[in-house]
Amino acid sequence: MKHFLTTLDYSFESLDRLLASAARFKSGVETGKPLAGKSVALVFFNPSLRTRASMQVGIYELGGNAVILEPGATSWTLEHREGVIMDSDKTEHLKEFVRVLERYVSAIGVRTFAALKDWETERADPVLNAFAKYATKPVINLESAMHHPCQAMADMMTIRERFGAKKKKVLLTWAWHPKPLPMAVPNSFALAAAQIGHDIRIAHPEGYDLDEELLSQIKSCATANGGSVEIVNGAEAAFEAAEVVCAKSWGSKNCYGDPDKDAAFRLGLRNDWIVDKSKMARTADALFMHCLPVRRNVIVTDSVLDSPNSIVIDEAENRLHVQKAILAELLATGH
Ligand code: CP
């Protein structure tokens, strides 16, 4: 039984096949209804525009029915830890929630952001992994503490539809933001770009390193697939010769759980770490990407975001197509 929790669980050949399938869905060549008569649960612990709308529409277009649940709002608050005495604010345990839900549905999508409290706990993705542990049907990660694989696949699709299956110089750049943000998007972008075999440069200020173990996996994937990984701590020079620029902010592990410390830590970085025209001018006419939502004139200036090189809307559209490919593959075995 297969889940879709991180692209790390998939080979280059599998990712390549999913991207080809997504392209067929987008072009209209693929019109199958593998979800006919089936329901898929979408469990959202956090807000969403793109993920929620694209999953709901994708399930409909594949012939299925989406059941949307929001623990703590439209369904009961959920406990995920084993062996706890549930005498606090949690009403239902995931062990029952998942096993009941999968009597109705053929797959479960889950969005569960990092709580941004305790890095060592959250890097293990405890809520997502509890779903995977109790489920006997496929679980799809719709963004967890550590990974956002559907976003990363849409990003790889968006690069591929502009450049074909060629290796590109891809810059993942940190950007200033008023609050510390989770690391799932940069983690999954860097990982998928490495698995596809791009030459990836990761630019961030000192103290904003990605998870050490994940970075080591990213480097191994890049080497295995003909790409490379370079880490730089300067904002300007990082843009040199890039063909794709993907911007994202994330919090520092040094200040994890302490937003005030993080705010102090990032003081003075705002002006250097914004994507603007002068930085983009150093690139090889790079395309600009961001997963959205994005804060205008904080992460990226209007002049870049509204330029012809900005492909953020295609990137968002491609969430629909890659997720249809993922759902079709996971449910092809007849769950
Ligand atoms: N990029 C992304 O996941 O968007 P939402 O948070 O709106 O779903």
CB of 129 within 6 A of ligand 1: the answer is: no
User: What's the mean per-residue pLDDT of the chain?
Assistant: 96
CB 66 within 8 A of CB 38: no
Q: Which amino acid is at 130?
A: A
Question: What domains lie within the chain, and their CATH numbers?
Answer: 7-147+318-331 (3.40.50.1370), 151-315 (3.40.50.1370)
**Ligand 1: nearest atom to the Cα of 52:** 8
Cβ neighbourhood burial of 212 (10 Å; 0-12, 13-18, 19+):
exposed
Distance 316 CA to ligand 1 centre (A): 8
Please report the pLDDT score of residue 333 as a whole number. Answer: 59
Q: Are strands 169-174 and 228-232 parallel, antiparallel or unpaired?
A: unpaired
CB of 49 within 6 A of ligand 1: the answer is: yes
Round to whole Å and give the CA distance between 212 and 131: 25
Q: Which of 45, 146, 47 is nearest to 97 (CA)?
A: 45
Q: How far is CA 317 from the centre of its chain?
A: 14
Round to whole Å and give the CA distance between 35 and 64: 5
Nearest CA to ligand 1 atom 6: 48
**Ligand 1: nearest atom to the Cα of 111:** 8
Round to whole Å and give the CA distance between 198 and 328: 26
Upper half-sphere CA count for residue 117 (Cβ side, 13 Å): 4
Please report the pLDDT score of residue 277 as a whole number. Answer: 98
Distance 253 CA to ligand 1 centre (A): 22
CB 66 within 8 A of CB 60: yes
CB of 210 within 6 A of ligand 1: the answer is: no
Nearest CA to ligand 1 atom 4: 50
Distance 291 CA to ligand 1 centre (A): 7
Please report the pLDDT score of residue 332 as a whole number. Answer: 86
pTM score of the predicted model: 0.97
Distance 55 CA to ligand 1 centre (A): 11
| 145 to 59, 85, 289: CA distances (angstroms) | 24, 25, 21
Q: Which of 108, 73, 114, 106 is nearest to 94 (CA)?
A: 108
Q: Whose structure tokens read 């997504």?
A: 22
Sheet containing 199-203, strands listed edge to edge, beginning at the edge strand earlier in sequence: 228-232, 199-203, 169-174, 244-248, 287-289
**Ligand 1: nearest atom to the Cα of 46:** 6
Q: Which amino acid is at 71?
A: P
Other Cβ atoms within 10 Å of 182 Cβ, number:
22
- pLDDT values of the chain reduced to their tens digit, one per residue, 335 residues: 599 999 999 999 999 999 999 999 999 999 999 999 999 999 999 999 999 999 999 999 999 999 999 999 999 999 999 999 999 999 999 999 999 999 999 999 999 999 999 999 999 999 999 999 999 999 999 999 999 999 999 999 999 999 999 999 999 999 999 999 999 999 999 999 999 999 999 999 999 999 999 999 999 999 999 999 999 999 999 999 999 999 999 999 999 999 999 989 898 999 999 999 999 999 999 999 999 999 999 999 999 999 999 999 999 999 999 999 999 999 985 44
> For residue range 5-45, what is the model confidence (pLDDT) as tens digits?
999 999 999 999 999 999 999 999 999 999 999 999 999 99
CB of 291 within 6 A of ligand 1: the answer is: yes
> For residue range 115-143, what is the model confidence (pLDDT) as tens digits?
999 999 999 999 999 999 999 999 999 99
DSSP collapsed to 3 states, 55-86: HHHHHHHCCCEEEEECECCCECCEECCCCCCC
CB of 48 within 6 A of ligand 1: the answer is: yes
**Ligand 1: nearest atom to the Cα of 54:** 8
Distance 9 CA to ligand 1 centre (A): 22
CB of 323 within 6 A of ligand 1: the answer is: no
Other Cβ atoms within 10 Å of 289 Cβ, number:
25
Residue 255 DSSP symbol = G
Q: At 65, phi and psi to the nearest 5?
A: -130, 130
Sheet containing 65-69, strands listed edge to edge, beginning at the edge strand earlier in sequence: 65-69, 39-44, 107-111, 139-141
